[in-house]
Structure 1
Amino acid sequence: MADSNMSDVIEAYLKQILQQANEIEIRRVDLAQRFSVVPSQINYVIKTRFNTENGYLVESKRGGGGYIRIVKMALRSEPQLIEEIKQQLPEVVSFRTATSVISTLYREQILTAHEGELILTLLSNETLSVGNITVQGQLRARLLQQLLSRLRFESERD
């Protein structure tokens, strides 16, 4: 539980910096020292909370002068980034992943809160219950793919 709380603290710290600038460059070791954690804890936070599904691009360089660059994506003005999210979706999508994608679309004001809630209802485990969890995840993936295709089309028309 303490690890979970520390992950939340690290995430909040990075998001606070990202509010001031859409791009940050950090050294994994420096961040680990700042929070008295091992560098793998920083990797965990970056991998699980700053991914494309959540609206971020991450570039990493390892080694002595290594760094992690986190860029907050601007989805509405960049249809190719919607396409990138679409391309990175796996063939089987969990409800948790779907929630991350919908949250990003809401945060970027592509969907309203009401639209997001309706879509999540349609993507829920209860709605897609077909007796096979793999098929359920495949259906969810296909539905998300279609949603992203439509949103990309609409953003290109704007």
Structure 2
Amino acid sequence: MPRLSDIIEEFIKQMLQENDDRELQIRRNQLANQFSCAPSQINYVLTTRFTKDKGYYIESKRGGGGCIILRRIEFSDNNDLSEILRDKIGNTITYNSASNIINGLIESEFITEREGNLMKVAINDRVLNNVISDKNKIRADILKSMIMIIL
């Protein structure tokens, strides 16, 4: 049985898919009431499942009941990918962070799921098992190279 966080995440993703302009306004309290949970549960889902690494931008508006604006980041040009290479990957990256970036590229349909799976296999810990030091540096170099090929 799926956890509440998974259900809320899928619900929000469905709402985003139905909204063509890739922006969604969420009233945290209303969503919490709908799922019979605390508003902090909604915050948890938004801050852990809708991160910049995964291709989302969150903005909070206060006053008038307040709302949260969730925007889907489009990886549509070389500037966006250059930002990923420079700011998100950097000189080192963990597998989890790299996987989040790849998932964001898949969700934004910049790469296919098959391409994403190949990328994940190439950078996973089992493949880099024989690397004694700087595993995260090598992972970053491999991921950057794969993304550069996509460019």
Taking structure 1 as the reference length, what is the TM-score of the superposition?
Answer: 0.76
Q: Which residue matches 1:119?
A: 119
Which runs of 4 or more aligned residues in structure 1 lie more than 6 Å from their structure 2 counterparts after TM superposition?
A: none
How many residues align structurally? 147
Tell me what 2:139 maps to. 140
Is contact 2:119–2:146 with CA below 8 Å preserved after alignment?
no
CA distance in 1, matches of 2:46, 2:90: 19
1:64 Cα deviation after fit? 5.9
SS in 2 for 1:88: helix
Provide the aligned C-alpha RMSD in A: 2.5
Which deviates more from structure 2 when the two are superposed, residues 80-89 or residues 44-53? 80-89
**TM-score normalised by L of structure 2:** 0.78
Q: Which has the higher helix share?
A: 1
Following superposition, the deviation at residue 112 of structure 1 comes to 3.1
Q: Give a deviation string over 1:132-155, Cα, whole Å, max 9, x none.
A: 5xx22232233333444554xx3x
Distance of 1:6 and 1:127 partners within structure 2? 33
Match of 2:94 in 1: 94
Partner of 2:109: 109
Flag structure 2 segments of 5+ consecutive residues without an equivalent. none
Share of identical aligned residues, percent? 35
Structure 1 residues 32 and 85, CA gap change in structure 2 (3 angstroms): farther
* SS of residue matched to 2:100: helix
Alignment partners' CA distance in 2, 1:90 and 1:59: 25
Deviations 1:36-62 (A, max 9, x none): 222221111111111122221111234
Are 1:85 and 2:101 an aligned pair? no
Partner of 1:56: 56
